[in-house]
Amino acid sequence: MSDLHCPATLVLARLPYHDPIDAAGALGALVAGRPSVRFARLYAGPDDTGMTCGAVVGDVLGVPPTTLTGLTVPPAEADRAECRFALEEVVGTLADLHRGETVLVLVPAALVDAGLGSASGTVDAPLVTVVVDADGWSVRSGLPATS
């Protein structure tokens, strides 16, 4: 990742695959309820669930979804290190593209859980904010205060 003069703010929405459509509707309502947070872009995975949920959330926010291939459910045999690497790739790529911006990323919950782990304090949080700057990442639950 290149040096970031302005931090990139990525809001990772944990997308459960057991009931994704209801989750996407609730997520859209939650995010839309915070008009102070403006999203420059919405990213979703290329599978049916990602595309469908991206469309639902995009309609609520008025932001069309952009497909990102790294946003897929990790295979059952993937270990924590592989998931962490996959999440780092997504975060690094988007941070480089969105310096000084806030973006919403619909991420399979399994990828967030395995990639960040319980030490991040974000287990079961529907939204996880990752701020990326020249010093690295900071991770917390919920939406950013302002955008």
Q: pLDDT digit string (tens) for 4-47?
A: 478 999 998 887 766 666 666 667 666 666 667 788 999 998 98
Is residue 108 pLDDT above 60, yes or no?
Answer: yes
Quick one: pLDDT band at residue 120, thresholds 50, 70, 90? Answer: low
Alpha-carbon gap, residue 49 to 111, rounded angstroms: 14
Segment 91-105 shows an average pLDDT of: 93
pTM (2 decimals)? 0.84
- Please compute, for residue 81, the number of CA atoms within 13 A of its CA located in the half-sphere on the CB side: 0
Sheet containing strand 8-15, edge to edge, reads 65-67, 41-44, 102-108, 8-15, 127-133, 136-141
Alpha-carbon gap, residue 147 to 144, rounded angstroms: 7
- Domains, the chain, in order of start with CATH, read 8-141 (3.40.50.1240)
Segment 132-139 shows an average pLDDT of: 87
Pairing status of strand 136-141 against strand 127-133:
antiparallel
pLDDT tens string 82-95: 888 888 899 999 99
